[in-house]
């Protein structure tokens, strides 16, 4: 098996856990090589390892999408919902085949500014796409879901999240947690100035069109961990991409258990088992 390795933090190359992982893979007959964000994968690459946290995984995902190879997250960070595998578990799982390759939804955005339409790799996201105010002025976000207009959201912005991203930015602004296999999109306001707005869950077949109102003239648009300034006149159309991300999941992993261990979900003295 030929395995490419993407590392977000170069210091991790000397981490004993990572060195042990590479050693185990090579002893098991795997060919291991390193890639950067702008590197091409070698022919015959079977898997991409993302070494770091979820932010590193999102960067590695862009590489994996370009080559349609599965990506496995090696958690060297703090949280790790996408990169959940421990370094000491990954090698055994890969060498023994004790994993599955699951499909994770990918968002695609088309930005239209005047007569110009953009559609490139920076317009894809695994977790979420976000519009945010770029200055002090409040941002108004007008949303249409399959042609049906919602009341204008006023506040700091709006998050459009996949089910994979429900535990990321969407969660921090009050969005619901949904199981990764759920076929939904989540619309969550950021610091809303409307007292009566709540996050909205829509089918993942929906097309969500965003326009903005702001005295600043510009707003920030983010696709996962990539951000750019966009003119207020832009029209953003967000829908599911026609392809998905191949993500390696260890058979021993469990989403509910991850919620309990990482976010202390349900932490309560009455839930302690003696």
Q: Which residues are catalytic?
A: 54
Residue that the structure tokens 């590392």 belong to: 7
**139-144-149 Cα angle (round to 5):** 95
Residue that the structure tokens 């999102």 belong to: 58
Residue that the structure tokens 């190359």 belong to: 13
The encoded tokens of residue 256 equal 């509910």
129 contacts 59 by C-beta, under 8 angstroms: no
222 contacts 190 by C-beta, under 8 angstroms: no
Where would I find the H helices in 28-133? Answer: 54-67, 87-96
Which residue, 114, 129, 107, 109, is CA-closest to 231? 114
Calpha distance 143→212 (Å, rounded):
9
- Cα of 183 vs its chain's centroid, Å: 15
48 contacts 64 by C-beta, under 8 angstroms: yes
Residue 236's H or E segment, with its range, is strand 235-240
How many other CB atoms sit within 10 Å of the CB of residue 184? 18
């Amino acid at each position: 098996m030929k395995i490419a390795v993407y590392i977000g933090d170069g210091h991790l190359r000397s981490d004993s856990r990572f060195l042990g992982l590479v050693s185990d893979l090579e002893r098991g007959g795997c060919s291991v090589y390193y890639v950067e964000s702008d590197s091409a994968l070698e022919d015959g690459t079977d898997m991409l390892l993302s070494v770091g946290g979820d932010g590193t995984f999102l960067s590695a995902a862009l590489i994996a999408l370009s080559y349609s190879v599965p990506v496995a997250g090696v958690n060297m960070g703090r949280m790790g919902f996408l990169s959940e595998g421990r370094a000491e578990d990954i090698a055994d799982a890969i060498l023994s085949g004790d994993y599955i390759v699951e499909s994770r939804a990918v968002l695609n955005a088309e930005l239209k500014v005047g007569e110009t339409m953009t559609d490139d790799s920076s317009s894809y996201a695994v977790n979420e796409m976000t519009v945010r105010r770029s200055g002090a002025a409040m941002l108004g976000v007008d949303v249409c879901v399959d042609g049906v207009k919602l009341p204008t959201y006023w506040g700091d912005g709006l998050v459009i999240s996949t089910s994979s991203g429900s535990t990321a930015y969407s969660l921090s602004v009050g969005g619901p947690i949904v199981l990764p296999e759920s076929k939904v999109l989540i619309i969550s306001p950021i610091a809303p100035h409307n007292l009566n707005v709540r996050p909205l869950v829509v089918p993942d077949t929906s097309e969500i069109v965003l326009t903005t109102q702001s005295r600043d003239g510009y707003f920030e648009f983010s696709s996962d961990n990539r951000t750019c300034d966009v003119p207020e006149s832009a029209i953003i159309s967000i829908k599911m991409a026609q392809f998905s991300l191949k993500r390696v999941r260890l058979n021993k992993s469990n989403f509910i258990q991850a919620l309990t261990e990482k976010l202390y979900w349900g932490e309560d003295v009455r839930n302690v088992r003696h």
